[in-house]
Amino acid sequence: MSESITITDNRTGKSVEIPVVNGGVDMKAIQGLMPGTWILDPGFTGTASTESAITDLDGINGILRYRGYPIEQLAEKSNFLEVCYLLLNGELPSAAEQEKWVHDVTYHTFVHENMRKRFMEGFHHDAHPMGMLMSGIAALSTFYPEAKDIDDPFNRYKQINRLISKVPTIAAMAYRSSIGMPFNYPDNELDYSANFLSMMWKIAEPNHVPDPVLAKALDVLLILHADHEQNCSTTTMRVVGSSHSDPYSAAASATGALYGPRHGGANESVIHMLSDIGSYEDLGPFVESVKAGNSRLMGFGHRVYKAYDPRATIVKEQADKVFAVTGKSPLLDMALKLEEIALNDDYFKSRNLYPNVDFYTGLIYQAMGFPLNMFTVLFTIGRMPGWLAHWQESLEQGQRISRPRQIYTGVGVRDYVDVGSR
Ligand code: CMC
């Protein structure tokens, strides 16, 4: 059997044989065969936009691996900063590499005072922290103009380091500003996740040491969010990066993509949905209205997973640990019942709709005290290393500028008519 496909243009009778490599066919080969004819694939449902060696996602069998390591092992044994290193460098760090990496991140967590005084304080009092974070990330490019030198690997490392270090600081700053509380400076004695919790919650105590169970749970959730191959925001990062924008501008664009309720905003939407349903009696009618197409079951379904999202299984385990410290979320039983109803319903079964990572993360975040509008901000902190690993990989691949074609369906040529004659 030949590892290739043959495409014939029946208008001309010409054929081309294209090899299948790693399950993909290079469609550039058909351009010579049928010039002016394009592959139409809105939403890229059947298009691989790139080759990548970062994340292996098998949605049929519910498998997720970073650089070959199963997500279950990383969630259990690793930590977020180590996973960042792994995604960015392809290998787990040696002890010396780990020490340097953690040091470099820990000692770059401060941001320029103007970011807080002039920038964050300029937002309206009820500004959404996700909008503030997106703007803050974009603003970093003005503090580090040398970031435009994307061809220098050392310069790239500096910007990657800064983005991973400073995003939690800006995120906490956005939250503190939104509740009218003074900003807390980073605490270099704490690890990455504990430091973020300290910047969020510290009030008057000289040192705020978060509950280790909660800090660990947050760290695991960041690992689960760290990469997910060519999702909407990562694709945005690669597309913007392909024009050779600086990484802050590209990461701000990716943050905008993550903001939407079909992507990173789903965790917030799940809580809104559960709160709006109100009571157990209303679960059945709600599911019926979803089936009638009136709304979506948020936190369910995925473009790639046609099985249980492996991240959702780990999130459920973390939920038990967090609730043992914080007390159970009043919405948990509703969520469990809703999952049970959906998993036994033909509508969801026939479409392979299962809970995704966002179905339970919101319940954990809420129990930890995060307001709803911070949920997607937490997702952004977690996804940053994945975006940066893909940005770096695409530059190393020498990716051409992303420039898809379109199928024009508008009006043909016509003559301009003066306004008085229209
Ligand atoms: N509730 C009800 N029906 C659904 C849902 C849902 N959550 N998701 C998909 N469907 C149905 C959809 O109506 C369609 O049915 P039909 O074939 O009869 O028209 C079918 O399932 C296929 O759906 P689709 O919209 O074509 O699937 P997609 O791959 O374009 O969209 C999705 C994927 C994640 C946007 C979608 O499942 C969705 O909107 N889910 C809810 C939002 C959500 O939880 N998003 C978080 C995703 S995981 C975290 C992340 O990556 O950001």
Is a pLDDT exceeding 90 seen at residue 266? no
Q: What are the tens digits of pLDDT across the range 270-282?
A: 999 999 998 889 9
Q: What is the rounded distance in angstroms from the CA atom of residue 253 to the CA atom of residue 277?
A: 33
Is a pLDDT exceeding 90 seen at residue 44? yes
Residue 36 is predicted with a pLDDT of 83
Residue 130 is predicted with a pLDDT of 94
- 237 found inside a domain: yes
pTM (2 d.p.): 0.93
Radius of gyration, CA atoms only, the chain = 24
Q: Which residue has a Cα nearest atom 16 of ligand 1?
A: 351
CA distances from 179 to 122, 126, 129, 231, 377 (A): 14, 8, 11, 32, 16
- 409 found inside a domain: no
- 406 found inside a domain: no
Which structure tokens are listed for 260? Answer: 């939407």
Assign 3-state DSSP to the chain and report helix, strand, coil percentages, each to 5.
55, 5, 40
- 39 found inside a domain: no
Catalytic residue among 56, 108, 263, 345: 263
> At a CB cut-off of 8 Å and minimum separation 6, what does 91 contact?
67
47 C-alpha vs ligand 1 centroid, how far in Å?
Answer: 18
The residue segments making up the domain with residue 234 are: 80-397
The CATH number of residue 361's host domain is: 1.10.580.10
Pocket test for ligand 1, best of 57, 295, 296, 375 (most atoms within 8 A of CB): 296
As for how many domains the chain has, the answer is 1
pLDDT band at 392 (very low <50, low <70, confident <90, very high): very high
Q: What are the tens digits of pLDDT across the range 179-207?
A: 889 999 999 999 999 999 999 999 988 88
Q: What are the tens digits of pLDDT across the range 327-373?
A: 988 888 899 899 999 999 999 999 999 999 889 898 999 999 999 99
Q: What are the tens digits of pLDDT across the range 166-182?
A: 999 999 999 998 888 99
- 404 found inside a domain: no
Share of the chain above pLDDT 70, in %: 100
Q: What are the tens digits of pLDDT across the range 228-255?
A: 999 999 999 999 999 999 999 999 999 9
- 403 found inside a domain: no
- 145 found inside a domain: yes
- 418 found inside a domain: no
Q: By the 8 A CB rule, do 370 and 378 touch?
A: yes
